[in-house]
Amino acid sequence: MDLVEWWRTAVIYQIYPRSFADSDGDGVGDLPGITARLPHLADLGVDAVWLSPFYRSPMVDGGYDVADYRDVDPVFGTLADFDALLAEAHRLRLRVIVDIVPNHTSSSHPWFVSGLRDRYVFAPGRGDAPPNDWQSLFGGPAWTRMPDQSWYLHLFDPGQPDLNWDNPDVRDEFEDILRFWLDRGVDGFRVDVAHGLVKPDFSEISVFDQDGVHEIYRGWRKILDSYPGQRMAVAEVFDTEPARVARYVAADELHQAFNFDFLEAPWEPETLRRIIDASIAAAAQVGAPPTWVLSNHDRRRHVTRFGGGPAGQRRARAAALLMLGLPGSAYLYQGEELGLPEVLDLPAAARTDPQWLRSGGAELGRDGCRVPLPWEGDAPPFGFGPGGRSWLPMPPDWAGRTAAAQRADPDSMLNLYRAALRQRRPAAALTWLAAPDGVLRFETDGGLLVTANLGDSPHPLPARPLLASSPVDATLPPDTTVWLRAG
Ligand code: NOJ
């Protein structure tokens, strides 16, 4: 398979701008903060960054409620700051992907404010009841009533009205927004809720993954292909089986889709192997690369999912080498290279996630994986910004987790990721090899032999590895992955 297109084997690092680095001391991360810290990512060895939204927004959903798709929110900086970030990233040979949020706008978007109802999904109620029983993914009904008694659809927060993609004005607008950012020089897009845009008949129970979405992405692909430099797009498609997800990455649609099955998998060899096989097979059917991801800004961080504490760290190290040894492309979420755990004890008053707010606190929500990054120093906010504060409180015991502390420690998570990204071998396919129970063993066409011990007992290790997630001797201990040269 042609491995020349950069995105087929890229490692892409997700930045959540509010929480990456703050340049002006207001406690919220911003674009100049990101620019100043790009050398960390160049040194880490990733190929690209994906920026979660930084557009004008009331921040009801951390910026996934966009009020102006062509401008930077003042809390993050200016368009000139964006241009400077992009130029510096490109100088450091990092590509930049931006988030596009086409399923819904903010309720503060001028279209919604000025009452352009045909661009949204409005419907009459059933008496006092909403038009149907669709539920918001943040809890409660997916419909909110306007003062004139009509209802509008919001699959997420009421501050995120769903757009009506049957309206050609909506289609034209988003094609124009794509061109706006492509003209500025971005390398691609991450498409939010890519499977949600087209709505079924209101009598349907299932809202997502309607066939009509594919025509939209065929149009987008033509736009991406009309620009030089291999521009790409990655689709967020969740709760959908691999064969359906593959339709979004057909040769005339988008380039990649996130692998939520892999992200959600337990640390368990049979399940992981099954998901790896299914993912590779589904992607191969349409000639797309498989992708891998362990964490993002919506899910509990994997150190914590894998048990937390030293056991969680150890498994996270083994999982990183497993993932980065697989063929295809991988996504890292900011802070996983520092082994950050989920922060589970945020005070209620600090929490902002609509998932938390709309569930009346029944769901902890996603703030715990969005705690700002610790860069250096001994006390919060650990160099996050010059103002001595951070929009979410940072655990006081993170001094050992800062990027500076880990750079100085050869055995740190950061140095494991750095070594892995240097020694990684781009690949398109794998072959499973015989292995004892609890062990996953495969060879890639990039020339890497990966052995991951997810079982309870050690196994003999025939040769000295290129890289090991934890110390090894003549045996491979439990919860450890090693890389060897294949053949
Ligand atoms: C998926 C995004 O990743 C998430 O953060 C957001 O809340 C929803 N889409 C709605 O935009």
pLDDT at residue 206 above 60? yes
Residue 3 pLDDT grade (very low, low, confident, very high; cuts 50, 70, 90): low
Mean pLDDT in residue range 83-89 = 99
Cβ of 193 less than 6 Å from ligand 1: yes
Tell me which residue has its CA closest to atom 2 in ligand 1. Answer: 192
Mean pLDDT in residue range 144-167 = 97
**Per residue in 96-143, pLDDT tens?**
999 999 999 999 999 999 999 999 999 999 999 999 999 999 999 999
**Per residue in 19-59, pLDDT tens?**
999 999 999 999 999 999 999 999 999 999 999 999 999 99
**Per residue in 336-370, pLDDT tens?**
999 999 999 999 999 999 999 999 999 999 999 99
81, 187, 236, 367: which one is catalytic? 236
pLDDT at residue 2 above 70? no
Query: 465 Cβ partners below 8 Å, 6+ apart?
Result: 472, 482, 483, 484
Count of Cβ atoms closer than 10 Å to residue 31 Cβ: 28
Mean pLDDT in residue range 136-162 = 96
Mean pLDDT in residue range 421-446 = 97
Give the CATH superfamily of 6-105+168-423: Glycosidases (3.20.20.80)
Tell me which residue has its CA closest to atom 6 in ligand 1. Answer: 64
pLDDT at residue 4 above 90? no
Whether 26 is catalytic is: no
Q: Which atom of ligand 1 approaches the CA of 61 most closely?
A: 7
d(Cα 31, Cα 460) in Å, to the nearest integer?
49
d(Cα 71, Cα 51) in Å, to the nearest integer?
14
Q: What is the mean pLDDT of the chain?
A: 97
d(Cα 254, Cα 261) in Å, to the nearest integer?
19
Cβ of 367 less than 6 Å from ligand 1: no
Cβ of 61 less than 6 Å from ligand 1: yes
Tell me which residue has its CA closest to atom 4 in ligand 1. Answer: 298
Nearest to 313 by CA among 416, 461, 465, 399: 416
High-pLDDT (> 70) share of the chain, %: 99
Residue 1 pLDDT grade (very low, low, confident, very high; cuts 50, 70, 90): very low
Domain boundaries, the chain: 6-105+168-423, 430-485
pLDDT at residue 487 above 90? no
Q: 6-105+168-423 and 430-485 share one CATH topology?
A: no
CB of 72 closer than 8 Å to CB of 81? yes
CB of 157 closer than 8 Å to CB of 354? yes
Mean pLDDT in residue range 280-300 = 98
Give the CATH superfamily of 430-485: Golgi alpha-mannosidase II (2.60.40.1180)
73, 157, 192, 443: which one is catalytic? 192
Q: How far is the CA of 192 from the centre of ligand 1 (A)?
A: 6
- DSSP letters for 279-345: HHHHHHHTTPPPEEES--TTS--HHHHTTSHHHHHHHHHHHHHHHHHSSSEEEEETTGGGTPPP---
